[in-house]
Amino acid sequence: MISFSLTGKTALVTGANRGIGKAIAKALGDAGAHVICAGVSSPEATVAEMPSAEGVQVDLSNPSALTPLFGEKQIDILVNNAGIIRRDDTVDFSEKDWDDVMDINLKAVFLNSQAFARAALSAGRKGKIINTASLLSFQGGIRVPSYTASKHGVAGLTKLMANEWASKGVNVNAIAPGYIATDNTTALREDASRNAEILSRIPAGRWGEAEDIAGAAVFLAAPASDYIHGAILNVDGGWLAR
């Protein structure tokens, strides 16, 4: 029997205080998981809307900030969702903007996943890791060099970790959201010309909503996806098929 139930599981979602992270956290909770919601700002608003959850306010600009948590709690599902973006012409792009983005978007993904796998493998238990990739895991983008590099890196890490851990009971996959109406895309949506260009290419004819990503996360966290390893699931309204 195919199961999408997460009853009895504990999930950690980074960047759970808003946007895609909040939608994923709530969906995992609705599927039965106890959810640890981690965010730079307080995730208590998210926690208050869920049947079984707790909040962790943490400085996610420190890539190893969550590492101790994996030794303190049994975590069955890790969702590496937290991310930032910085925009500037590549010839003017600062080293700080490069480092800030890479630390949160890529280095933290590696360190969180490493700590999760160490705990799961040493205990002999199964686990699920879900990374947030991007359309820019496949494309170059414009004026977002560190974001593009980080999301290409997330795609590569997802495949590498799947190769190493699939036989040991840890699934590693990623979701590549398309153009989703979140804080990270405000600048694009407020640029009338760019907004029109984007909408004209999306076969679904609309920007995605954070909730559009949530179902994919539940699927990749649930037993229904136990034979899926190293996949990058595009949830993009058909963008990459165009």
Q: Could you tell me the two tokens for 11?
A: 């999930």
Q: In this structure, are strands 34-39 and 127-132 parallel, antiparallel, or unpaired? A: unpaired
Joined tokens for residue 26: 């709530």
One-letter amino acid at 29 equals G
- Residues 203-225 have pLDDT tens digits of 999 999 999 999 999 999 999 99
- How many other CB atoms are there within 10 angstroms of residue 93's CB atom? 17
Average pLDDT over residues 63-89: 97
Characterise 63 by phi-psi region: left (phi > 0), alpha (psi -120 to 50), beta (else): alpha
> Which H or E element spans position 132?
strand 127-132
Give the type of residue at 117. A
Provide the terminal-to-terminal Cα distance of the chain, rounded to the nearest Å.
35
Contact 87, 186 (CB under 8 A): no
Q: Which of 70, 147, 219, 239 is catalytic?
A: 147
- How far apart are the C-alpha atoms of 94 and 7, rounded to whole Å? 45
C-alpha 220/C-alpha 4 separation (Å) is 9
147 assigned to active site: yes
Report H helices in the chain. 19-30, 44-48, 69-72, 95-102, 108-123, 145-165, 186-190, 192-201, 211-221
The backbone torsions φ and ψ at residue 176, rounded to the nearest 5 degrees and listed phi first, read -110, 95
In this prediction, residues 118-147 reach a mean pLDDT of 97
- The pLDDT score that the predictor gives to residue 188 is 87
pTM: 0.96
Percentage of the chain with pLDDT > 70? Answer: 100
pLDDT above 80 for 98: yes
| pLDDT of 15 strictly over 90 | yes
Output DSSP code: residue 105: I
CA atoms within 13 A on the CB side of 184: 24
The mean pLDDT of 103-119, rounded to a whole number, is: 98
> CA–CA distance from 180 to each of 28, 58, 100 (Å)?
19, 25, 22
Task: Kindly state the average pLDDT of the residues 121-131.
Answer: 98
- 56: part of which helix (H) or strand (E)? strand 53-57
Q: Which residues contact 186 (CB under 8 A, 6 or more apart)?
A: none
Q: Could you give the CA distance from residue 9 to residue 31 in angstroms, rounded to a whole number?
A: 10
Region 23-47 average pLDDT: 96
What is the pLDDT at residue 95?
98
Residue 68 has pLDDT above 90, yes or no: yes
The predicted-structure confidence for 133-188, as pLDDT tens digits, reads as follows 999 999 999 999 999 999 999 999 999 999 999 999 999 999 999 999 988 788 88
Q: What is the pLDDT of residue 184?
A: 76
- The secondary element (H helix, E strand) that includes residue 80 is strand 77-80
- pLDDT surpassing 90 at residue 1: no
Q: Which of 70, 54, 66 is nearest to 104 (CA)?
A: 66
